Structure 1
């Protein structure tokens, strides 16, 4: 648990402003606790498996019994190094652990071991695309959120409140669970931007495998520091919304908090620095306690832990063991496949999506068209079904590649391709070895092959022109939309098998006579 610095006036001058809310600028910074994917705790060998019976995974070290000493988990350090490399941070060759002192029932030592003055990961940035508007008004803007730091620390336990019997208990299973707390500059200017940042950060930590990203189980917890100000004014007093465990609630909580703060200021009241919780049932935030400053925690170096020293050799060893990073893969997709930066970024939202795309692209030999299909038809199917792209219900990427190949060759048109894809969605084929033959059979059985007989198509065009004199007259009078009606009639007459571009060209040629 760290404090997002709120005194970046010099740095914030000149930073782009976001959309104003009733004349106020929204300022948002994030603190994210990513639970590291080690098997044991950060300073002991106790398990961190989720769902165990209360107080069955808390050893003597976690309970701070007399005579016990913490021992650093090497795996936690390596995961911190991985994160730093993934976001272009400086990995501190020497960092220090400190005791953060506060008294709470679920903190058995009376302090939390964290890092304060010298964190292990320093600086770095997270880049992502922010989409606003819809349809013709859709705007995609590339955003960058700067990171202050990412530091290692232990988690506290958990208070359990049994309201129906009026009692509370303490579960210390989580005490000592390894966390990487990731702290941003207050660079975000809207709830939509904050959610986009959180999703990108979630992608990064799950991609490199340092965190499972399970928000419901508390593996990826976000705290949003929110304040408002008039443009050009000093940063306002922030309130920290704790433990946001879904992207949907994150946006709702920030939007409510912004409205609440503006109403308070407009009513002549001052905002008090506080920690607040979001109630998803009411859609409101409520103050939990006044917010402490760093000085209140009386940080001092932990005498039981020596400085953490990380050599360049260790960093390079970790680098060599890491999978291709999403930003590097996106750059490769742009260079090797000629994709736009946006499409390459979307296709590297997860390793599963990236793998699916590459398989489709290699099968079809048409990477741009394959990208359109993965981001279009395939994504629409997974979203509708509420499944991931590596689910067995999703059509095999090689089969989709065969469809894309046939679109490019002119064997089928867009409508026929969609029909073939729908067949793949309903017919089991992942255990079929000859997927090219399977797709060909779908096309033949459903009579989806595109009409390539120019003479037959020309006859249909002439027939439609003769039967639609009104549309013809409107088109010749300058109404381009009238042509769409004629194209639709021709596609209907050809049972959807005509080549739309060929229809358009032939129709214009005939109407020009």
Structure 2
């Protein structure tokens, strides 16, 4: 179906009620894989972090990663879930080239965490934020698959490719899959609710310290299930599942697109195929993947090579005591402390800079200065480089040090931007960069006075206006002085000298 055949979003809402289900996969940052001792370092040479166990070779026996179980319990507790007293792994059987064992070790009817919820703050344009409770059906443990690379085609997908390569480094990395119950009754807010849920869940995962939750690297990714039912009819329609959506913006766009696509199919008398679909970031559309299997198609059965997991209640309570402050509560507390408006805090969180701003303030900068640098100068540079703001080679302590130089009158904001150039280029500390680049402000009255005299002599009309009491005209002379001093003059002191000479 081409984009021209879609119903508009408004038309979809006139006739149908959407229902969503979100499945978020979180790659845990354990040192070793879920069932073997292979390392989990991201970006290693293909197929260098594998062993007989994660390759599924005959006779290799798995063993459960205790740290992964601990992380699963902490995630479950943070999501207000019940923690199973006894659970076990199962084999999910299906064939795919990136599944070396031809089954995935997962949990089926006995997840480690179940029946939870998350209260999600949903931004409302022009109004107060809305709180939506998203019910969590389960959070279960499993292993990740390998990664296929399709070579020779135009799209990077298997259709049209000359051949495919498989990297099994990722196969066996611990995953926690968090599955919501159907989210209904959201209407036009459905796309925003989906985005807000994934964003807040990602924030929680980072706060727990169990994953770096890098969407750009696939360490957290969302599957978006969407169905439409006739308006007011109740119940659920046939769902599609858009797989591996890896940005917050794309989660929102995928929900909106699928609502429009489903509405077009149903309005024309057609039916929705229960299938997986691929999201295309460049075009903003989904395309068909494969027909979606039901649970019975996977022929689940208990994993015979692993003992059940039975966390004691004492251990669970010990882990509960390690939970950090809820990010939503923390954000509200810090917003009040920092004096940020709702919009300022929303922008800070949306830019992925909340933790960076917090650390910069802790390092000595004011909230206003910390927000200014991260959301303007550094966010722009991250955008230009096509990376997350957290990936920039600038630390919160360095940002606070740059602001300290500004506060001390050593440099001004314009020079501070050059210091950030140096930091990103690896030229040393802020102080070393100021020295090596000769960026310090000139505050010597002798040098400044000479430049002021030159500006006055070159602009007699402006000087006369100042003598006549039009102090605002001093800006033109300040500009002349700054130009002569190559921007390295203290503008405040220049203004004082101009007024002293012309008063």
- Work out whether the TM-score is over 0.5: yes
Gaps of 5+ in 1: 1-17, 364-369, 407-418, 434-440, 448-459, 465-487, 499-513
Q: In the superposition, relative to structure 1, how do residues 343 and 144 fare at CA in structure 2: closer, same or farther (>3 Å)?
A: farther
Choose which of 344, 356, 366 in structure 2 pairs with 1:352.
356
> What residue in structure 1 maps to residue 297 of structure 2?
296
* 1:341-370 deviation digits (Å, cap 9, x = unpaired): 88777767643322224455xx6xxxxxx5
Report if the CA contact (8 A) 1:393-1:425 is conserved: no
Choose which of 77, 81, 84 in structure 2 pairs with 1:85.
77
Report if the CA contact (8 A) 1:123-1:148 is conserved: yes
Deviation at 1:323, TM superposition (A): 4.8
Gaps of 5+ in 2: 1-8, 154-160, 383-387, 424-428, 433-439, 449-465, 479-490, 493-503
Hey, what's the Cα distance between the residues in 2 that align with 1:124 and 1:289?
A: 31
Q: In the superposition, relative to structure 1, how do residues 20 and 63 fare at CA in structure 2: closer, same or farther (>3 Å)?
A: same
For the pair 1:216 / 2:216, whether they are aligned, the reply is: yes
For the pair 1:397 / 2:400, whether they are aligned, the reply is: yes
1:309 counterpart SS class: coil
2:177 counterpart SS class: strand
Moved more, 210-219 or 261-270: 210-219
> What residue in structure 1 maps to residue 274 of structure 2?
273
Report if the CA contact (8 A) 2:357-2:374 is conserved: no
Report if the CA contact (8 A) 1:239-1:274 is conserved: yes
Moved more, 192-201 or 124-133: 124-133
Moved more, 272-281 or 220-229: 272-281
For the pair 1:34 / 2:26, whether they are aligned, the reply is: yes
Deviation at 1:71, TM superposition (A): 0.5
Q: In the superposition, relative to structure 1, how do residues 325 and 141 fare at CA in structure 2: closer, same or farther (>3 Å)?
A: closer
> What residue in structure 2 maps to residue 166 of structure 1?
162
Hey, what's the Cα distance between the residues in 1 that align with 2:52 and 2:289?
A: 31
TM-score, L = length of structure 1: 0.68
Report if the CA contact (8 A) 2:254-2:285 is conserved: yes
Hey, what's the Cα distance between the residues in 2 that align with 1:21 and 1:107?
A: 38
Counting only pairs closer than 5 Å after superposition, residues 219-258 of structure 1 correspond to structure 2 as: 219-234=219-234, 235-258=236-259
1:193 counterpart SS class: helix
TM-score, L = length of structure 2: 0.69
1:56 counterpart SS class: coil
Deviation at 1:302, TM superposition (A): 1.6
Deviation at 1:269, TM superposition (A): 0.5
For the pair 1:152 / 2:141, whether they are aligned, the reply is: yes
Hey, what's the Cα distance between the residues in 1 that align with 2:441 and 2:39?
A: 52
> What residue in structure 2 maps to residue 437 of structure 1?
none
Moved more, 331-340 or 249-258: 331-340
> What residue in structure 2 maps to residue 3 of structure 1?
none
Moved more, 345-354 or 267-276: 345-354
1:124 counterpart SS class: strand
* 1:151-202 deviation digits (Å, cap 9, x = unpaired): 1001222333334673334433222121111111232643233222222222
Report if the CA contact (8 A) 1:208-1:325 is conserved: no
Q: In the superposition, relative to structure 1, how do residues 431 and 171 fare at CA in structure 2: closer, same or farther (>3 Å)?
A: closer
Hey, what's the Cα distance between the residues in 1 that align with 2:401 and 2:44?
A: 42
Coordinate RMSD, CA, aligned: 4.1
Counting only pairs closer than 5 Å after superposition, residues 196-211 of structure 1 correspond to structure 2 as: 196-211=196-211
* 1:29-86 deviation digits (Å, cap 9, x = unpaired): 2111111111211011122223334433221112323322210001111111222233
Hey, what's the Cα distance between the residues in 1 that align with 2:250 and 2:328?
A: 28
Deviation at 1:326, TM superposition (A): 2.2
Hey, what's the Cα distance between the residues in 2 that align with 1:298 and 1:491?
A: 81
Hey, what's the Cα distance between the residues in 2 that align with 1:34 and 1:157?
A: 15
